[in-house]
Structure 1
Amino acid sequence: MGKRFNELSDKHIHFISEQKLFFVGTATADSRVNISPKGMDSLRVLSPNRVAWLNTTGSGNETSAHIQQAPRMTILFCAFDGTPLILRLYGTAKVVHQYDPEWDDLFTRFKPLPGARQIFDVEVDLVQTSCGMAVPYFSYTGERELLSDWAEKQGEQGLWDYWTKNNQTSIDGITTHILEKGD
């Protein structure tokens, strides 16, 4: 059943590369727990103990706010077809904003996505697998282009205005620092 590993194996990395969807979980000591579904080919394995994912504009910015106060992050993948498997990555995350020195190096590892607002750089300290036998089968039929289309339509200033209005604090009032260096 469940197994623990100190790092990602080649088999784990291959499994991750096949997934179209993953989930990210974060919380501070006093905030609501946030679990977000992610896709859009936005995650990269950088080493057996490091992953990064390119975060695009959303209705909120909970993950960023949480990570800046409590850098714990869990990333969950589950097989919706083929052999059942759940794969969890536990680690310490760091938010990399567009104004941070690390941005350019990390951003080049991704296909550019409209509305990209930050990258989460995660040092993985525990990899856990479990059976996944209760996860139902789902068929992948394609990507939704709605968010990319919306972000392209907004343009740089429109995204900045949206971040100003909607992405500066979490639902619990924790700051995200998304605009600090650009003010």
Structure 2
Amino acid sequence: MDLSGSGNETISHLLEPGNGRITIQFNAFTGPPKIVRLWGHGRVLECGTEEFATFVNSQEVQTLPGTRSIIIVDIHQVGSSCGFSVPFYDFKEYRPVLNDFFEKKRQKFEAGNASESMDRYWAYKNAWSMDGLPGMRRGLLAGKRDNVVPIEKMVGPLVTKRYQGGRGVAAEHVLLIALVSFILGIMLAMYGPGLVELVQAFDASRLKNTIAHVSL
């Protein structure tokens, strides 16, 4: 079960074309040291879709407030390692903060406050990944429908420009377009008249051949 939060990397990278890889890691914080990893490919069953509802009903899943998807992993490899440096931890209790936050949000929305809708939250925080990959489809649709400007998750000089998610053009792309345009301009200036004469000569020759063919 995938709960809502400010991050959205799992969904975005599972939906990324050619990707879909996911690793689940278990650490032994008590007893003998051990790390177990499950490697596989994941599928996203997004909240609000027929696939999500079918899975939740058939598996009798008790969803929590703010549940945004179910992640299905087709595991193809399982491996373990020593875990010698994994520290000891004692579990104390679960934090109720996240569940309480989204439960209050649900109550406010049902009381008539449209700004507290999960769609708007997903549009603001879960429509895009940190590097600009598209995330929740429902968030993307809500963003367009309600004109929600997504949060900027990365700032500073190390922000990647490779992915813009349709929200802009990378600087290197602008430079490439400018360079190609400059080269084409020079070529047209140098060889333009000759190209025009060549095209005109080609058209005249084709016209003569057409007339000769019709005459025959």
So what's the TM-score if we normalise by structure 1? 0.65
Q: Partners in 2 of 1:107 and 1:172 — Cα distance?
A: 31
Structure 1 residue runs of 4+, over 6 Å off? none
Q: Partners in 2 of 1:99 and 1:150 — Cα distance?
A: 20
Q: Partners in 1 of 2:82 and 2:129 — Cα distance?
A: 34
AA aligned opposite 2:131:
D
Q: Partners in 1 of 2:84 and 2:131 — Cα distance?
A: 35
- Aligned residues of 2:2 and 2:71 also touching (Cα < 8 A): yes
Structure 1 residue 181 displacement after superposition: 7.0
1:81 aligns with 2:40: no
Q: Partners in 2 of 1:181 and 1:162 — Cα distance?
A: 12
Q: Partners in 1 of 2:30 and 2:87 — Cα distance?
A: 8
Per chain length, whose mean CA-contact separation is higher, i.e. which structure has more relative contact order (CA < 8 Å, sep 6+)? 1
User: What is the aligned-residue identity percentage?
Assistant: 34
1:135 aligns with 2:86: yes
Give the aligned partner of residue 56 of structure 1.
3
- Aligned residues of 1:163 and 1:178 also touching (Cα < 8 A): no
AA aligned opposite 1:86:
I
More strand, by proportion: 1
Structure 1 residue 99 displacement after superposition: 3.0
Aligned-residue CA RMSD in angstroms? 1.8
Q: Partners in 1 of 2:78 and 2:32 — Cα distance?
A: 18
AA aligned opposite 2:93:
G
Structure 1 residue 170 displacement after superposition: 0.7
Give the aligned partner of residue 202 of structure 2.
none
Note the alpha carbon deviations across 1:8-43, whole angstroms, 9 max, x for none: xxxxxxxxxxxxxxxxxxxxxxxxxxxxxxxxxxxx
AA aligned opposite 1:61:
N
AA aligned opposite 2:12:
A
Equivalent residue runs for 1:93-132 within 5 Å:
93-108=42-57, 109=59, 110-132=61-83
Which protein has the larger Cα radius of gyration, Structure 1 or Structure 2?
2
Q: 2:123 is matched with which residue: 153, 159, 164?
A: 164
1:102 aligns to what SS in structure 2? helix
AA aligned opposite 2:8:
N
More helix, by proportion: 2
So what's the TM-score if we normalise by structure 2? 0.56
For these two proteins, the number of residue pairs brought into alignment is 130
* Long gaps (5+) in structure 2: 146-216
Distance 1:64 1:166, change over 3 A: same
Note the alpha carbon deviations across 1:141-165, whole angstroms, 9 max, x for none: 0100000000101116522221111
